[in-house]
Structure 1
Amino acid sequence: MGAGFWSPVIVSLQVVSVASVIAFLLAMLASWFMTRKSFKGKVVVETILMLPLVLPPTVIGFGLLVLLGRQSWIGRAFEWLFSQPLVFSYWAAVTAAVVVAFPLVYQMLQNGFEGVDRELEQAARQMGAKEYQLFWYVTLPLAWRAVVTGFMLGFARGLGEFGATLMFAGNIPGRTQTMSTAIFVAVESGHMMLAYYWVGSIMVFSFFLLLFVQRLK
């Protein structure tokens, strides 16, 4: 297997590693806030956060093009700051993976934080713990299984992302061509053996990630 095989593998692992960390941090903050705070319109906000979980990937990709493309103010600001457009770049692939992985990570962390005994948190408050200390030293350790599971499932989801990545980041070899998009091109062009290798790679990665998650139960 030459460079033609390894390039999408390396891009996929780079993209999903960065995206998993970003999605995890965003989901951790959002899930903690949503499980600990009450406010008007909370149900609407939760619905918006979970929406990418049920939307078709092409709809997500189209939404990213509209919100972050070269015609949007965010896209123009990014291009002004970094002298290149966000769309069809490495960071576009990362963004697509973050958006599709976030709801899954958020849901797992939310379930974990909701399962933490509130009386333990209240006891820590009465002992003088500040909110950030409460989060890092009480809530997070008690929900560690959900935290690890959420990160692993987010990684697996990002690894298999296809539709949003293809629409927003394209399929540029060595930059945005992930294993999922490479499989699509390989099948279309008749390079079935390469497609088999990439499919097998994703299945192996996903199998061991899920096996690790199952052993946490």
Structure 2
Amino acid sequence: MSMEWSWFPVQLSLIVAIIATLITLFLGIISSHWLLTKKVKGKSIIETLFFLPLVLPPTVIGFLLIIVFGSNSPVGELIAWVTGRSLLFTSTAAVLAATVVAFPLMYQSVKTGFLAVDTNVIGAAKVDGASDWKLLILVTLPLSIRSISTGIVLSFTRAFGEFGATLMFAGNIPGSTQTIPTAIYLALETGQMDLAWYYVLISIGFSFILLFAINRSKGNA
């Protein structure tokens, strides 16, 4: 089986990473705010579940996604009934896989930023009558922007480079679900080293630029 150079894996990887990052940003902000401001039972268990994707093998994550969202699961059957097709082997599946593996990085970054906000500032805002949501939007988020920016970069690069769970859950279909990591895998499998190097260099370039930008911003802080 041979492959030809295509921009599709690059485009799909960027789209998947952007969407996954936006989802993790929203979830990271909401979950951090909830766990830090509310008395939640089983907080340690919940946070442990949040961080599991960091330590679980990607194949385990892919397996669990198939079990939960596969064609034979209740959730998968509901999705198929609503959308008319299975979630498996679709670009949406690639987004979901990337979101799961990137979320812990976003959550930790957002949480770190929230914890670094001066409690005196929050106390003064509460005295002035600010609600929890106003505090979040007008005080906590602006003061946490540096940590959140770090979370965005880390989550984006993690989602951009996701391979194992994506391969199992979304597949490696050229022109449909093939991302840069899966394209590299297929290029190696077919002995096309030049093609693999093209995708490797693109991946390294994107990741380097983003990490360099965030490190440079920290250095200028």
- TM-score band, normalised by shorter chain: over 0.9
With 192-201 and 14-23 compared, the bigger mean Cα shift is at 14-23
> What root-mean-square deviation, in Å, do the aligned CA atoms of Structure 1 and Structure 2 show?
1.3
| d(CA) in 2 for partners of 1:159, 1:135 | 29
With 125-134 and 161-170 compared, the bigger mean Cα shift is at 125-134
State the AA in 1 paired with 2:45.
V
User: What is residue 52 of structure 1 aligned with on the other side?
Assistant: 53
| d(CA) in 1 for partners of 2:74, 2:126 | 43
User: What is residue 176 of structure 2 aligned with on the other side?
Assistant: 175
Report the secondary structure of 2:5's partner residue: helix
User: What is residue 10 of structure 1 aligned with on the other side?
Assistant: 11
State the AA in 2 paired with 1:87.
L
| d(CA) in 2 for partners of 1:67, 1:7 | 28
What is the CA deviation profile of residues 169-195 of structure 1, one whole-angstrom value per residue up to 9, with x for unaligned ones? 000112210000000000000111110
**Number of equivalenced pairs:** 216
What is the CA deviation profile of residues 129-173 of structure 1, one whole-angstrom value per residue up to 9, with x for unaligned ones? 122111011000110101111011100000110000000000011
* TM-score normalised according to structure 1 size: 0.96
User: What is residue 203 of structure 1 aligned with on the other side?
Assistant: 204
5 Å matches for 1:178-189? Answer: 178-189=179-190
State the AA in 2 paired with 1:172.
I
| d(CA) in 1 for partners of 2:122, 2:177 | 44
User: What is residue 91 of structure 1 aligned with on the other side?
Assistant: 92
User: What is residue 114 of structure 2 aligned with on the other side?
Assistant: 113
| d(CA) in 2 for partners of 1:175, 1:212 | 31
State the AA in 2 paired with 1:29.
I
5 Å matches for 1:59-70? Answer: 59-70=60-71
- Pairwise CA distance, 1:5: 2.6
Report the secondary structure of 1:5's partner residue: coil
Q: Is 1:134 the equivalent of 2:135?
A: yes
| d(CA) in 2 for partners of 1:104, 1:47 | 13
User: What is residue 193 of structure 1 aligned with on the other side?
Assistant: 194
The answer to whether the 8 A contact 1:108-1:150 is kept is yes
Q: Percent identity?
A: 48
User: What is residue 160 of structure 1 aligned with on the other side?
Assistant: 161
| d(CA) in 2 for partners of 1:91, 1:4 | 23
- Pairwise CA distance, 1:11: 1.0
- Pairwise CA distance, 1:29: 0.8
With 47-56 and 25-34 compared, the bigger mean Cα shift is at 25-34
User: What is residue 122 of structure 1 aligned with on the other side?
Assistant: 123
User: What is residue 80 of structure 2 aligned with on the other side?
Assistant: 79
- Pairwise CA distance, 1:3: 7.0
What is the CA deviation profile of residues 87-107 of structure 1, one whole-angstrom value per residue up to 9, with x for unaligned ones? 111100000000000001111
Report the secondary structure of 1:63's partner residue: helix
Unaligned runs of 5+ in 2: none
Report the secondary structure of 2:146's partner residue: helix
State the AA in 2 paired with 1:26.
L
Stretches of 4+ moved more than 3 A in 1? none
Report the secondary structure of 2:72's partner residue: coil
State the AA in 1 paired with 2:84.
S
* TM-score normalised according to structure 2 size: 0.95
The answer to whether the 8 A contact 1:5-1:194 is kept is no
